[in-house]
Structure formats: C-alpha cells, structure tokens
A = this chain, B = another copy of it.
Amino acid sequence: MTHEPLVAASAQQRHDGRAPNELRPVRITRGYTVHAEGSVLIEFGRTRVLCTASVEERVPPHQKGSGEGWVTAEYGMLPRATHTRSDREAARGKQSGRTQEIQRLIGRSLRAVFDLAALGERTITLDCDVLQADGGTRTAAITGAYVAAHDAVQRLLAEGKLARSPIRHPVAAVSVGIVDGVPVLDLDYVEDAGCATDMNVVMTGAGHFVEVQGTAEGEPFGRDELHAMLALAEHGIQQLVALQRAALAGAQVG
C-alpha cells in the first residue's frame, strides 16, 4: 500500500519552484563553533539553526542514582531571526508556550533513540538556537541536534568515557502540510502561514515513528490527507537521514 499516487498526481509547482515532495536544500556544517562537544549549523533553505551538544557529568534529580543518563534540549530564537523583531524571552522573563513545546519535543525525540543506561550518569544538553527562521525550525533543530549529539558521543568514545555508543538509531524530522489542497513536503514560512494543515513528523533511521503531530490550522483533514502527508514525511526523512550519514562520514571535527 502506498499513497505516492496522490502526491504524484499534482503537477502544480510550489512558490519557490520545488516539487511537492522535494526538500529545500539542506546543509549540515559540523564544528561550527569550537567550545561545544558537538556543534552543528543546519540549514533547511533559509532556515538556520545552531545545534550544540554539551556533555555534563551529572544528571537531573529524577535520574540521580539510577545509573542512567539524560538527554534534554533547549530552544531559542534570536530576536531578529524573524521578519519582524520579536521580544527577547530573557528580557520578558519567561519562555513562551511555543518555545517550551518545541524544546520538549526535541528532547523527547532525541531520547527516543538513546539508550540512557548505556550513556551512564551524564547529561547531554542540546541547545538549538535559531539564527534565521523561514519555517521548519523545530524539524531542522531535531535533525541537526542528532548530528551534534553524535559528535558528542564520538568524543566520549574517543576519550574512553564510553565503551560503546548509546545511540541506537539516527533520528530526523520534517514538516508536511496541505497547501492549496496539495500535500507538500518541508514547508517554508510562506507555505506554513498559508497552509490548511501542518504536520511535524519525527522518525528513526529504521523507519519508525517517534512523533506525529498534525494540526488543522484551517479545515480539519481527512484520513486520506493524513496518509498522504505521512508518506511524504517518510520520503523526506529517508533523505534527511542519508544527509546526516554523509555529514557524519566526514572527518571528526571540533
């Protein structure tokens, strides 16, 4: 069973010339900054997110004495990453509900591919900071955070702090949506603002779902649309995982 036909049936081009099932150009730069154990700049078109992985030899209270480690994430957006300047959360004194929702999603997604017992009692914190936003910042963040986490783990292995990698699978994410009635992959800001439905999908390199979050921004969507979007997402994530592998095949950095 495949839902590809529904996608293929659309001959309509997108506002930037992409085919419905086409990702934006993706670029993954490892070793973008020097201090972090993993530091990756990921670009999905004009969306740019700096993902750093920091290793700390301690765990939060709920994991203390468990023998297990922890993987968590924080997300931020520079005030002028967006078209018009948004308030600085540090100045307002609190993180928005959107920020918290996204950082919880990133953290869960990464933990889903980590064997926390194999990590040992240490924490990997993934800081995902958006330098420039053009739609899909949370999916770029997850995809880049995986690469940063991988580099941090490699360093722990190289230093002999870990005997084997606690990473079980790659993990990557992409958005899909229904724009003008057509299911499309990897929405940019213009498409995101105009779409009827927006779905973020997180999958492992083994082809299993970690998160599926679909929201009807306008009209509620039917089962067929849901299937078409899931198929598109699978298609996109396979490519993203291949790009992660290619990036990690380069020399160890940082």
Interface residues of A (CB under 8 A from B): 1, 33-36, 39, 46, 48, 50, 52, 54, 56, 74, 76, 78-85, 88-91, 93-95, 97-101, 103-104, 108, 112, 125, 127, 129, 131-133, 169, 199, 203-204, 206-216, 219-223, 226, 230
B78 touches A52 (CB 8 A): yes
Bound Cα distance from A207 to B226, whole angstroms: 13
Q: How near does chain B come to A200, taking the closest CB pair, in angstroms? A: 10
Interchain CB contact (< 8 A) of A212 among B34, B95, B208, B212: B212
Q: How near does chain B come to A55, taking the closest CB pair, in angstroms? A: 9
B90 touches A127 (CB 8 A): no
A214-B211, A221-B208 are contacts. A131–B33 as well, Cβ < 8 Å?
A: yes
Bound Cα distance from A83 to B55, whole angstroms: 11
B213 touches A212 (CB 8 A): yes
B residues within 8 A CB of A127?
A: 78-80, 85, 88
A127-B78, A230-B226 are contacts. A211–B206 as well, Cβ < 8 Å?
A: no
- A sample of 27 inter-chain contacts (CB < 8 A) reads A1-B1, A33-B80, A35-B81, A35-B83, A36-B80, A36-B85, A39-B80, A54-B85, A56-B85, A76-B88, A90-B99, A97-B97, A97-B100, A100-B101, A112-B216, A169-B220, A199-B212, A208-B222, A209-B216, A209-B221, A210-B215, A210-B220, A211-B216, A212-B213, A212-B214, A213-B213, A213-B214
Given contacts A97-B100, A206-B220, A208-B216, 9 further A-B contacts (CB under 8 A): A34-B46, A35-B82, A39-B80, A54-B84, A97-B101, A97-B103, A101-B104, A203-B220, A208-B222
B residues within 8 A CB of A221?
A: 208-209
B residues within 8 A CB of A99?
A: 90
Q: How near does chain B come to A108, taking the closest CB pair, in angstroms? A: 6
B91 touches A74 (CB 8 A): yes
Bound Cα distance from A132 to B50, whole angstroms: 11
B97 touches A94 (CB 8 A): no
Bound Cα distance from A103 to B84, whole angstroms: 21
A95 touches B101 (CB 8 A): no
Q: How near does chain B come to A10, taking the closest CB pair, in angstroms? A: 21
Bound Cα distance from A54 to B87, whole angstroms: 12
Bound Cα distance from A78 to B103, whole angstroms: 15
- Which residue of A1, A76, A207, A209 has the most chain B CB atoms within 10 A of its CB atom? A209
